[in-house]
Amino acid sequence: MCINTKHVTNIKVKFKFKIFLLLGMLLLTGYGTRAQFILPENFNKPKAEANTGQKDANDVQGDVFINIKPGARNGVFKNADDIIYNLKVTNNYTVSQQGVLTCFVTTDENQPVYLDSVKVNMGKNSINHYRFKINASQPGFYKIGFAFHLTYYDDTVKRVFGLKPLLLTTETRKPADFDSFWQSTLDTLKTVNPQYKVTLQPALSVNNKKVYLVEMHSWGNAVIRGWLSIPNERDKKIAVKYRLPGYVVKAEHSVDDDDFAVFNINVRGNGNSADAIDTHGEYNLYNLENRDTYVYRSVYMDCVRGLDFLASHADMGLDTAKIMVDGASQGGTLVIALAALDKRVKIVTCEVPLYADFRKALEITKLDPKSQTPVGMIAKYQRTHPNFTNEKLFKVWDYYDPLNFAPMVKCPVLMGIGLLDQFCPPRCSFVLYNQLKNKNNEIWASPDKTHEVDGLYYTYQYLWFQDLLRLP
C-alpha cells in the first residue's frame, strides 16, 4: 500500500522485512494496494430490525445489510471525477420490499452539495447493487448519507469523505508577541526547582518491568506526577516513549512495551495530578478569559517539565537522544505544542488532535448547540456569557491554537485521524497537518472511525518510529 506525504509518493524504508510484514497484514485483511494514504477499509455494515409499522409486520422478520464502498478505499479522493460510492444491499427479509434510496451530500458546514434518489425494488432474500457518482469540486470534507425508505425498513447510513485535503489552507493569526510570550513562559518555568522524586513501585513492577512513581514541581510550583516504566532486559540505553494525556484522562502506568521506556505523565488536573488544580469540572474553561492565567499555559509547561525530567535522568538508562512523544485528542495538541517549544523532541505521533484549527472547529461545533465536546463547552460558555465575543476569545486562544505552533515543529510527525470525528473535524486536522514542514511527515485516516483510529495504525506507528529512531 502506498504511503504518501506532501512531498513523496512512496516512503523509502530500510526495514524491508518489517514493511513486508505490514503489507502481508494488509493483504490478509483485504485492504487494497493503491490508495493515497494507508487507510484500511473497515466500513461498518449497518443492519436494522424490521419496521413494525407495515401490514402484517408482526409476521415479517429479517434484516437489511448495507455494505458501502467508496471509489477511494480510504474515503479520501484525489480527483473530483473519482467520487463514486457503490452500495451492496442484502435484503434478508422473506418478502420483497419497495421504496426509495436517497443519497445526499453536504459540506462539513451543512451546505447542500448533491441530492439524488433511485427507486428500489428488492426481491426477498436478494442482493442488490446501487451506484452514485457525486458532484463535488472544492477541496474539503463532505458529509454523505444514504436514506432507505422501504416497505419494512427505514434507516439512514452516514459517512464522510475528503477531496484533495492536502490543498486545504487557512489564514493563520499568530499574535505578534506569540514567540516572546512563550519564551518568557519557558524562562519562568526554568526558575521553578523541579525537585524530582522517583519512587520504585514493587507492586506494579510486573512483566519484567520496573515501574516508578515520578513527582516534580512545575509551573506555579504545583506538584505533578507520572509513571515511568523501564524494561529489565534492555540495551545500555533505551529509547523513550513520552505519552501526553487526553482531555481529563487518567494516565496509568504501562508494562506492555518491551522496546521502550514509557513515561506517562498526568498534567495538572489529570489522574494522580488532579490535586494540582481545581477547575470545578470545567477544565478548558478555567480562566478562559485571561491569556496569562488560562489553564493551558500551565498544562503546556507541565509537558515541558516532564521532558526536563527525562532529559535529566539518563542515569536510569534512558536514551535522551531518542525521545518520541505521543498523544491523542487533547494529547494531540499537547505534542504539537511541546515539539514546537522544545527541540529535544525527536519524533511525534499525534492522533485525533483536539483544537486543531480552533477557529474553524468552533464554527463547525456551533452548528450543533447540544455538542458536549470540549470545543462545544467553549461554545456553550460563549452562549451563556454573551459579552465574551469571538474577538475576545481569540485574543486568548490564538496563543494556544496548535495551528500557530505547527510551523515551528521541525521533527517528523505521524498523524492519525478518524473521518467521522465530531470532536476533531477531519478538515481541521488536515489543515493542521498541512502546516507541518518536515518532509517525513505522514498522515493516516480511518474512514469508519469517530474520535479514534483503527488498530492497524498502531502497528504502522511502531514500525515508523522504529525506523526513524534507527532502533534495532
- Secondary structure class of 359 (helix, strand, coil): helix
Mind telling me the catalytic residues?
A: 329, 421, 451
- Secondary structure class of 101 (helix, strand, coil): strand
Angle ∠(41,62,87) on CA atoms, nearest 5: 30
Neighbouring-strand partners of residue 142: 107, 161
- 84-91 β-sheet, strand order: 47-48, 64-70, 84-91, 126-133
Cell of 422: 465530531
**Those residues with Cβ within 8 angstroms of residue 215's Cβ, 6 or more apart along the chain or in another chain:** 196, 197, 198, 199, 223, 224, 225
- 413-418 β-sheet, strand order: 197-200, 209-217, 223-231, 261-266, 238-244, 318-328, 347-351, 413-418, 442-446
**Distance of alpha carbon 330 from alpha carbon 310, whole angstroms:** 21
Identify which of 182, 255, 193, 187 has the alpha carbon closest to the alpha carbon of residue 218.
Answer: 193
Contact 151, 62 (CB under 8 A): no
Cell of 380: 456553550
For the chain, the first-to-last Cα distance in angstroms comes to 24
229 CB burial (10 A radius; 0-12, 13-18, 19+): buried
For residue 142, say whether it is annotated as part of any ligand binding site: no
**Distance of alpha carbon 8 from alpha carbon 441, whole angstroms:** 10
Phi, psi of 266 (to 5 degrees): -105, 105
Other CB atoms within 10 A of residue 114 CB: 16
Contact 429, 453 (CB under 8 A): no
Other CB atoms within 10 A of residue 35 CB: 20
Q: Please state the residue numbers annotated as binding site for substrate.
A: 247
